[in-house]
Chains A and B, each alone.
Chain A
Amino acid sequence: KAGVTQTPRYLIKTRGQQVTLSCSPISGHRSVSWYQQTPGQGLQFLFEYFSETQRNKGNFPGRFSGRQFSNSRSEMNVSTLELGDSALYLCASSPRAGLGTDTQYFGPGTRLTVL
């Protein structure tokens, strides 16, 4: 079974631009979560989607948004990029809507650099 895939793997943008990252979960998995990882802040939860609905949201500004499609693929968008948005963005999938027993499996991440 194929793992979680994320595209693109690397991205360089300039301040003020916007960016869209894509995540395809493991086949059959319906929950997708997004995380931002930086050296200073560590791993921070962005949001979680299940059945095209946002189930949970972390403490990030409205410039960060996401969506999930009917095939469970998810995209996240960051508008008006700031230097501090430079980070590794990780996507994770799990079978169901955030049950305690469900493991999350991560993709390889998208490394975003904002210049």
Chain B
Amino acid sequence: AQKITQTQPGMFVQEKEAVTLDCTYDTSDPSYGLFWYKQPSSGEMIFLIYQGSYDQQNATEGRYSLNFQKARKSANLVISASQLGDSAMYFCAMREGGTGNQFYFGTGTSLTVIP
């Protein structure tokens, strides 16, 4: 089974609107971390936000927030007030607890912000 699933290959959003990018994950480890990265056309992967499995509150970082629903194993990224510079690929990732565990990445969602 896929560890990380992103079901939206492409999304469009109007400038200044909010958008939600979906991510579901699969793990039986009670301890894990969930991450979102942004990859502009330049290629560099930019870390956006982190959510730990034991965190009680949803993570927020500026215009980014993570809608963490543990029972449903979902970790959706919400971008508020979209800007043209938000157009990029977005990847959801997970790392299970303990040492020596690799990162698992989803296939990504291409977001286009329309002026």
A contacts, CB < 8 Å to B = 33, 35, 42-43, 45, 48, 50, 55-56, 58, 88, 90, 92, 96-109, 111
Q: Which residues of A contact B97 (CB under 8 A)?
A: 99-101
What are the residues of chain B within 8 A of A104 when measuring CB–CB?
35, 47, 93, 95, 103
B59 vs chain A, min Cβ distance (A): 12
Q: How far is the CA of A109 from the CA of B39 in the complex (A)?
A: 11
B95 neighbours in A (Cβ, 8 Å): 98-100, 102, 104
Q: What would be 25 A-B contacts, judged by CB atoms less than 8 Å apart?
A: A35-B105, A43-B105, A45-B104, A45-B105, A50-B100, A55-B100, A58-B102, A96-B99, A100-B29, A100-B32, A100-B52, A100-B95, A100-B101, A101-B33, A101-B50, A102-B33, A103-B50, A104-B35, A104-B47, A105-B47, A106-B37, A106-B44, A106-B45, A109-B43, A111-B43
Which B residues, 78 to 104, have Cβ-Cβ distances below 8 Å to chain A?
Answer: 91, 93, 95-104
Given A43-B91, A56-B100, 20 further pairs, Cβ under 8 A? A33-B103, A35-B105, A45-B102, A50-B100, A56-B102, A92-B103, A98-B98, A98-B100, A98-B101, A99-B95, A100-B31, A100-B53, A100-B95, A101-B50, A104-B95, A105-B47, A106-B46, A106-B47, A108-B43, A111-B43
Instruction: Report B77 CB to chain A, min CB distance, Å.
Output: 15
Name the residue of chain A whose CB is nearest to the CB of B54.
A101
Kindly identify which residue among B33, B45, B47 contacts A100, using a CB–CB cutoff of 8 Å: B33
Query: Shortest CB–CB separation between residue A100 and chain B, in angstroms?
Result: 4
Is B42's beta carbon under 8 Å from chain A?
A: yes
Q: Contact check, B105 vs A42: say whether CB atoms are below 8 A apart.
A: yes
Q: How far is the CA of A89 from the CA of B95 in the complex (A)?
A: 20
Find chain A residues with CB under 8 A from B29 CB: 100
Give complex CA distance A75, B44 in Å. 18
Q: Are A88 and B101 in contact (CB under 8 A)?
A: no
